[in-house]
Amino acid sequence: MAKDTFYITTPIYYPSGKWHIGTCYTTVVCDAMARFYRLCGRDVFFLTGTDEHGQKIENNAKKAGVTPMEYIDPIVADLKSIWEMLDISYDRFIRTTDADHVATVQKVFKKLYDNGDIYKSEYEGLYCTPCESFFTESQLVNGKCPDCGREVHYEKEESYFFRLSKYADRIIELYENNPEFLQPKSRVNEMINNFIKPGLQDLCVSRTSVKWGIPVEFDKDHVVYVWIDALSNYISALGYGSKDDSLYKKFWPCDLHMTGKEIIRFHAIIWPAILMALGEPVPKRIYGHGWLLVGGDRLAKSKENTSSELVDPKEIVARYGSDALRYFLLREIPFGSDGVYTNETFLNRINSDLSNDIGNLVSRTTAMISQYFGGKLPAIKELTELDNELVAIMNGLYENVSAAIAEINVPKALAEIFKLVGRANKYIDETMPWVLGKDPSKKDRLATVLYVLSEAIRCSGILLLPFLPKSAPEILACYGIDASDKKLFESLSFGKLEGGIDVVKARPIFPRIDVKKELADVSAMMLERHNKELKAAAAKEKAEDKANEPKFEEIAIDDFAKVELRVALVTACEKIEKSKKLLKLSIDLGYEKRTVVSGIAEYYAPEELVGRKVVLVANLKPAKLCGVESQGMILCSDDGDAVNLVVPAEGAKIGSRVR
């Protein structure tokens, strides 16, 4: 019989800069869940990858003077190395530049177009020319481009649109009929009230001004824009629409799309609508988790830097091991809500749970087996009520952990395991094996106590495998248990260890940390590294700016002589009503009077200009701006932020030539 399947995905990551500790969160959670279901014997497919197209990557590459692929490749390699370091057990790492993904996206786009769900129209919005990007009013910062801070202007571009509005009712119905579909539950109201009820707009799904994207097969001026490309990765990775779609048949619909809360909207509204339009089943569940925030500790506060870049996952893993970081991310952040990383909470969590609780339990128990029974596990004798209390926790553990995982509450799953660990440590204090060891008549009782403790270690060790893939196998190895044994999960109840087996005395798996001292050291180390990075980034930016400085074509003196520049006086000035930017100036050249229109209304009030001398390009062909004929142009300096008049010296006579 075919095994139960489980298909789980992370969002695909934008390779647009440096990876940080927040980046690791979604993927570590998905990895723990994938490993848990593999342990339970399910046939799991775990997908992650990178979202490599679009304007931002195109711009970043241009700025760095390389091709988009040259820009992306090292960043993707770096992400893969982080996943390797954190033992991420993905089944496929998809890149949206992979040939099979590109082919699927083109097929999806064509199918939606053929069905009438995609149509051609015009995209209108506020456009930043240097960034070649459209923005909505609300995305602007102080009315300017949120990326480069420059002016934006209204523009239209031919685009294809997806009929998202058509699917609003079916999406509400989907939420109503499937309470499991979108979680945590609070997200459902957020989607309905904030996005669906105010009215879904059709979605722009192609661009002509962006080149770095998947070409629309039947209209090569267009590339597929962002969400159809990105979201389709969840089915292209399974071969949807290709010759071999066996994985698609086996794993779709997806059991769980895990996403950060800022992109739930795309997963819970746009993605099901696209699938409905394709006539494919929608995913079973979408979970929107909160963010990991970095800040609040001394390191961050003293530098007024709450950026998660201060905390480098590679640095943490190198110092404390990958399981320590995994454990913190999985245990400390209340699932569904935001959580905060500080060095202090991290070190305390590692010390208390890993070093004190599980570390101590394993080292004390295996040391006593070595001391009192020569390293051979004693056989069980008679169980007391106290023993049975611990045994009951062991026997119910799988059910509790599995229930927590099913409701996607990973911290709760870990808390269940640590309940057993905590109870076992208390049991050591209650039974006092070191006292039993002194009295030969208590040897049988000592044997039972150490056996019961060993079983607690075995059961918790097995269930910790998905969360601590490096240390849990080490714990189990003390009892000769092979962590890769596919049948481990069937042995999750008390009494499976055989008396007489060899038990190896554990090395300290999680050495105890002197938190106060460590905190000072690690904070200093992070700060030093971060400052170095900031310096290097500033130097790089300077070098890039220099390389990108505009190169001017040289002109001959005769060319310059063609430009007639004159000193002029502004005699009157007023705003042009229909325009935010234009001023109408009356100019006196001494030998004649003129009207000039200038785009400086955002930098000068009309009354500031009256009575000032300016430099005029006097032989410029007249042009009409907002219905007013401009007879020349006033010279200004423009550094990208500020615009300033070029002002002749005091004594310069009106009408004199500027040469």
Q: How far is the CB of 533 from ligand MSP (least distance, A)?
A: 18
378 binds ligand MSP (CB under 6 A): no
Kind and range of the H or E run holding 332 = helix 322-332
Q: How far is the CB of 19 from ligand MSP (least distance, A)?
A: 9
Query: Which has the closest alpha carbon to 149: 165, 163, 133?
Result: 133
Q: CA–CA separation, 307 vs 460, rounded Å?
A: 36
476 binds ligand MSP (CB under 6 A): no
Q: CA–CA separation, 271 vs 229, rounded Å?
A: 11
259 binds ligand MSP (CB under 6 A): yes
Instruction: Between 282 and 292, name the residue whose CB sits nearer to ligand MSP.
Output: 292
Q: How far is the CB of 308 from ligand MSP (least distance, A)?
A: 5
Q: How far is the CB of 28 from ligand MSP (least distance, A)?
A: 10
Using CB under 6 A, which of the segments 9-17, 163-171, 514-522, 586-594 binds ligand MSP? 9-17
Q: Which residues of 335-360 are buried (b: 16+ CB within 10 A; e: fewer)?
A: bbeebbbbbbebbbebbebbbbbbbb
Instruction: Between 22 and 648, name the residue whose CB sits nearer to ligand MSP.
Output: 22
8 binds ligand MSP (CB under 6 A): no
23 binds ligand MSP (CB under 6 A): yes
183 binds ligand MSP (CB under 6 A): no
Size of the site for ligand MSP (CB under 6 A): 18
26 binds ligand MSP (CB under 6 A): yes
- Candidates 12, 152, 408, 618; binder of ligand MSP (CB under 6 A) is 12
The contact pattern for ligand MSP, residues 194-233, with x = CB under 6 A and - = no contact, is: ------------------------------------xx--
260 binds ligand MSP (CB under 6 A): yes
292 binds ligand MSP (CB under 6 A): yes
- Candidates 11, 336, 411, 466; binder of ligand MSP (CB under 6 A) is 11
- The tokens for 485 are 């044994």
Instruction: Between 103 and 654, name the residue whose CB sits nearer to ligand MSP.
Output: 103
Which residues, 30 to 69, sit near ligand MSP by CB under 6 A? Answer: 51
Using CB under 6 A, which of the segments 18-26, 64-72, 107-115, 409-417 binds ligand MSP? 18-26
Q: How far is the CB of 337 from ligand MSP (least distance, A)?
A: 11
User: Helix, strand, coil shares of the chain as percentages rounded to 5?
Assistant: 45, 20, 35
Q: Is 499 in contact with 378 (CB distance < 8 Å)?
A: yes
Q: CA–CA separation, 141 vs 149, rounded Å?
A: 7
Q: Which residues contact 399 (CB under 8 A, 6 or more apart)?
A: none
Q: Is 80 in contact with 93 (CB distance < 8 Å)?
A: yes
13 binds ligand MSP (CB under 6 A): yes
308 binds ligand MSP (CB under 6 A): yes
Q: How far is the CB of 44 from ligand MSP (least distance, A)?
A: 20
Q: How many CB atoms lie within 10 A of CB 486?
A: 10
Q: How many helices (H) and strands (E) does the chain have?
A: 24, 25
The contact pattern for ligand MSP, residues 79-108, with x = CB under 6 A and - = no contact, is: ------------------------------
Q: How far is the CB of 470 from ligand MSP (least distance, A)?
A: 23
Using CB under 6 A, which of the segments 257-265, 314-322, 371-379, 547-555 binds ligand MSP? 257-265
Work out the widest C-alpha separation in the chain, in whole angstroms: 123
Q: Which residues contact 513 (CB under 8 A, 6 or more apart)?
A: 347, 350, 351, 355
Q: What is the dihedral of CA 26, 28, 34, 35, to 10 degrees?
A: -170
Amino acid (one-letter) located at 143? G
Give whole-number Cα distances, 180 to 5, 268, 382, 410, 654, in Å: 18, 12, 46, 17, 78
Instruction: Between 283 and 461, name the residue whose CB sits nearer to ligand MSP.
Output: 283
Q: Is 239 in contact with 107 (CB distance < 8 Å)?
A: no
62: exposed, middle or buried (Cβ count in 10 Å: 0-12, 13-18, 19+): middle
Amino acid (one-letter) located at 355? S
Using CB under 6 A, which of the segments 157-165, 254-262, 500-508, 585-593 binds ligand MSP? 254-262
* HEC assignment per residue over 344-377: HHHHHHHHHHHHHHHHHHHHHHHHHHHHHHCCEC
Using CB under 6 A, which of the segments 19-27, 392-400, 453-461, 595-603 binds ligand MSP? 19-27
Q: How far is the CB of 226 from ligand MSP (least distance, A)?
A: 8
Q: In the bound complex, which residue of the shown chain has the CB atom lying closest to ligand MSP?
A: 260
Residues that bind ligand MSP (CB under 6 A): 11-14, 22-23, 25-26, 51, 230-231, 259-260, 262-263, 291-292, 308
